[in-house]
Amino acid sequence: MCKGNGDYHNLELYEGDVLPLESFLLKKVDMLESQNDNRPFFLVDLAELYRMLEQWRRHLPRVELFYALKCNPHPIVSRCLADAGVGFDCASKMEIEQILNLGVHPSRIIYANPYKPSGYLTYAAANNVDLMTFDSAHELTKIKKHYPNARLVLRIWTRNGPIMIHNLSKKFGCHTREVRAILAQAAKMNLNVVGVSFHVGGPVTSPDYYATAIEQAHRAFNIGLSLGLNMEIIDIGGGFPGKYNGYVTFEEVAESVNKSLDRYFPASEAVRIIAEPGHYFVTAAFTLTVSIIGKRIVSKRDIDDGCKKDHFKEHNSDETSNEEAKDESLIYMYVLDQGTCGAFANVTYDDADIQLKLLQNSNLKTSIVWGPTCATFDCVVAKRQLSEMEVGQRLYIPNMGAYSLSLATGFNGIELPLVFPVCSRYYCATVPLIFEQLLFSKVCLTPTAPKTHIKGLLL
């Protein structure tokens, strides 16, 4: 829940198509410092959500959107997407409850977790959230008992790429050789299987992953039809890049998906195609601003001798090469007011490449950046060439919307960042309902850890 009198703020607007990021960040810093407040904060550009929505509908017009709430459950995100007609991929009772409380119709929710506690199934049944995934015979038995009228989507195993961080097929998905048997059992139990789903994992390094997975889904879909099941849905999952991930663009992925859908599920067959993007929507919408709360200069020898060398990953700086850095015998160690147990949780989960941005650059030093907790694993950036910084200095990190707030634990009682929403005036005119509410309402700025207790807009 929100804390204190200063934790509320109205939406602010900007002119034009591009957010003047640094000027807004400085404005927020000045505002907070005038109140003797040095807390970290996110600046959230809501227009970015709508830009990504427009891009999706332009490039993948056949594919319905079900936003993966786990990626960033902040209420301002879910409210904007809900009012724009987006559906939701929920994985628990609490996530379903959050979306239903926004007034979203149950038909716009998929319970996309192949393993569901019986109590959660009962809750879904009581609230008519009937579309859900499964990948095992044991789950069918549970569903038959607690929600026999559910509409079921079989999640299948897919072959992931060799450098996947998230190889989801390790945990989820019915293997190809098991598809017929499990669908036959569902038919024998008079359960209503309506489709097939998959998730290619991430980061996606080739659009071919989707092409291969859609072909696999087509085979499973046809097996279901041959067994007399009411097959009507293909769920192509997530993994879509919102910004260039160094491997493939969204446009390249969309082109591959469209070709495969046209080949295996042509529009004339009226198969419903859905997807569950997360990173795609929120990555670029959130910029994090943090402060340096500690600094120490140590001998490189002491660090190498005192730490496991494989604890630190070497990063190449886009500012300079190692040879250009001065004082190579020293390591400049900094401590931030957020770490991997807080807003930098994506470092651990996503192996995120954190790009620390300073408003002013100075001489470059070999640096290590830590989070504020007592944990030795709380390392945000290891052995990178950075401008020398001082205690109290602010810096910002773009592209922090995915798996930052959602995975933050609040370990050691470290407070999570405030959230300041901004938006282009153009979208306020284009999508007036949500922004009329936000402009004249207050937003809860302080999410509460753990993530399952993040509260909504105070309207």
CB-based contacts of 358: which residues, under 8 Å, 6+ apart?
387, 389, 393, 395
On the question of pLDDT at 86 being above 70, the answer is yes
Our count of domains for the chain comes to 2
Cis-peptide, bond into residue 450, ω within 30° of zero: yes
Q: Are residues 146 and 273 in the same domain?
A: yes
Q: Is pLDDT larger for residue 193 or for residue 305?
A: 193
Residue 90 three-state SS? strand
For residue range 397-450, list pLDDT tens digits in order: 999 998 888 888 888 988 899 999 999 988 876 655 555 555 544 444 444 433
Q: Give the pLDDT confidence score for residue 310 in this predicted structure.
A: 39
Q: Are residues 326 and 418 in the same domain?
A: yes
Q: Give the pLDDT confidence score for residue 244 in this predicted structure.
A: 65
Contact between 404 and 344 (Cβ < 8 Å): yes
On the question of pLDDT at 159 being above 70, the answer is yes
For residue range 278-331, list pLDDT tens digits in order: 999 999 999 999 999 999 999 877 775 434 433 444 344 444 444 444 456 899
Q: CATH no. for residue 297?
A: 2.40.37.10
For residue range 24-40, list pLDDT tens digits in order: 999 999 999 999 999 99
Q: Are residues 229 and 319 in the same domain?
A: no
Give the DSSP letter of residue 227: T
CB-based contacts of 148: which residues, under 8 Å, 6+ apart?
190, 191
Share of the chain above pLDDT 90, in %: 61
Q: Give the pLDDT confidence score for residue 20 in this predicted structure.
A: 93
Burial of 378 (0-12, 13-18, 19+ CB in 10 A): buried
Beta-strand pair 87-90/63-68? parallel
For residue range 28-73, list pLDDT tens digits in order: 999 999 999 999 999 999 999 999 999 999 999 999 999 999 999 9
Q: Are residues 247 and 345 in the same domain?
A: no
Q: Is 80 a catalytic residue?
A: no
Contacts 24+ apart (CB under 8 A), 32-38: 35/6, 37/6, 38/291, 38/337, 38/392
Confidence of residue 170 (pLDDT cuts 50, 70, 90): low
Average confidence score pLDDT of the chain: 84
Q: Give the pLDDT confidence score for residue 394 in this predicted structure.
A: 92
**Structure tokens belonging to residue 108:** 């716009």
Q: CATH no. for residue 231?
A: 3.20.20.10
Distances (CA, A) of 254 to 56, 160, 237, 250, 397: 9, 18, 13, 6, 28
- 156, containing H or E segment: none
CB-based contacts of 44: which residues, under 8 Å, 6+ apart?
74, 76, 77, 285, 286, 401, 419, 420, 421, 422
From CA 345, how far away is CA 217, in angstroms rounded?
33
Q: Are residues 329 and 390 in the same domain?
A: yes
Contact between 251 and 369 (Cβ < 8 Å): no
Confidence of residue 458 (pLDDT cuts 50, 70, 90): very low
Q: Which of 374, 379, 423, 444 is catalytic?
A: 374
Q: Give the pLDDT confidence score for residue 206 in this predicted structure.
A: 85
Q: Is pLDDT larger for residue 196 or for residue 433?
A: 196
For residue range 356-397, list pLDDT tens digits in order: 887 555 678 889 999 999 988 899 988 888 889 999 999 999
**Of 282, 306, 339, which one is at a domain's C-terminal end?**
282
Q: Are residues 369 and 394 in the same domain?
A: yes
* Buried/exposed 17-45: b ≥16 CB within 10 Å, e otherwise: eebebeebbeebbeebeeeeeebbbbbbb
Q: Are residues 275 and 402 in the same domain?
A: no
Q: Are residues 150 and 205 in the same domain?
A: yes
Q: Give the pLDDT confidence score for residue 78 in this predicted structure.
A: 94
Give the DSSP letter of residue 311: G
Q: Give the pLDDT confidence score for residue 346 in this predicted structure.
A: 81
Cα 124–chain centre separation? 23
Q: Give the pLDDT confidence score for residue 168 in this predicted structure.
A: 59
**Of 282, 307, 338, which one is at a domain's C-terminal end?**
282
Q: Give the pLDDT confidence score for residue 450 in this predicted structure.
A: 35
Instruction: Give the DSSP letter string of 392-419.
Output: T-EEEESS--SSSTTT---GGGPPPPEE
Q: Are residues 385 and 249 in the same domain?
A: no
On the question of pLDDT at 174 being above 50, the answer is yes
For the beta carbon of residue 422, count every other beta carbon within 10 angstroms: 21
Q: Give the pLDDT confidence score for residue 281 in this predicted structure.
A: 94
**Structure tokens belonging to residue 141:** 């038995």
Q: Residue 331 belongs to what domain range?
A: 1-45+283-459
**Of 282, 309, 341, which one is at a domain's C-terminal end?**
282
Q: Are residues 400 and 440 in the same domain?
A: yes
Tallying the residues shown for the chain, one arrives at 459
Of 16-25, 200-209, 263-272, give the range with the top mean pLDDT. Answer: 263-272
Instruction: Give the DSSP letter string of 353-370.
Output: ----B-SS---EEEEEEE
From CA 299, how far away is CA 152, in angstroms rounded?
59
Q: Are residues 63 and 23 in the same domain?
A: no
Q: Are residues 27 and 132 in the same domain?
A: no
Tell me which residue of 190, 187, 170, 189 sits closest to 179, measured CA to CA.
187
Q: Give the pLDDT confidence score for residue 448 in this predicted structure.
A: 42
